[in-house]
Amino acid sequence: MESHVFQRHEIKYLLNSQQRAAVEVAFCGRMLPDPHGESTICNVYYDTPDFRLVRASLEQPVYKEKLRLRSYGQVFPEEQVFLELKKKYKGVVYKRRIELAEDRAAAFMIGLSPLPYDSQIGNEIDYFRRFYTGIQPAVYLCYDRSAWFCAEDASLRATFDRNIRWRQNEMELIAAPGGEALLLPHQSLFEIKTAGAIPLWLVEALDKAGAKKASFSKYGEAYKVFSKERTGVCCA
């Protein structure tokens, strides 16, 4: 079981196809495609039966947290996935995750078995799971991602997420990606991930393209849709 810790700022923009093309032109000579940059990312988000976590997140608090199981494409039960605890405090994102087999992760999350190895991050995730009584799979989310990193500063990363889909059936990473679309076909969610400041050339490129910062949570947007479908009232 492998552990990973990330601490960074994440700034989001909702781009149309023309804006994305303009940003990618500005990447030339500055940003390089990630070795695993073209991928379909699959997630199962966990929440309480009354969706306590996502409802709190949508209120834009100073501190918020979420727990998800992630894979890069559809996996078999014995393949490795990531169990991630993501926290945000005053605009800084802290992501802590462990890597383990899908079947072990799924069994742990429903209380059938402990984590295979003891670790600080694993203990934090276990506490989170026990603290939020009745936590269970709440939504499946997948999307096609193009990832880039800066040639001069590898800690600066950028991603374009398109074809974002959600569903509340087959909420397993062993199931094929699919679901209801959250964005229009020409839209991409562009995200800058950095431990420092955004470089001036990228700020200028986004400004020239007319891009505006967006507060966009994939799970939050999916929740707005399915809560409205159930009650006829949007819970934004």
32 found inside a domain:
yes
CATH number of the domain encompassing residue 33: 3.20.100.30
Domain count, the chain: 1
214 found inside a domain:
yes
Q: What pLDDT score was predicted for residue 233? A: 55
In 3-state terms, the chain is what percent helix, strand and coil (to 5)?
25, 40, 35
- Beta-carbon contacts of 51 under 8 Å, excluding residues fewer than 6 positions away, are 138, 223, 227
Spatial separation of the C-alpha atoms in residues 80 and 85, rounded to whole Å? 17
Q: Which stretches of the chain drop beneath a pLDDT of 70?
A: 1-3, 231-236
Structure tokens at 26: 């500005």
212 found inside a domain:
yes
236 found inside a domain:
no
Q: What pLDDT score was predicted for residue 6? A: 73
Global confidence as pTM: 0.92
Spatial separation of the C-alpha atoms in residues 171 and 168, rounded to whole Å? 6
Q: What pLDDT score was predicted for residue 209? A: 97
- The domain in which residue 39 lies consists of 2-231
157 found inside a domain:
yes
Structure tokens at 229: 């479908």
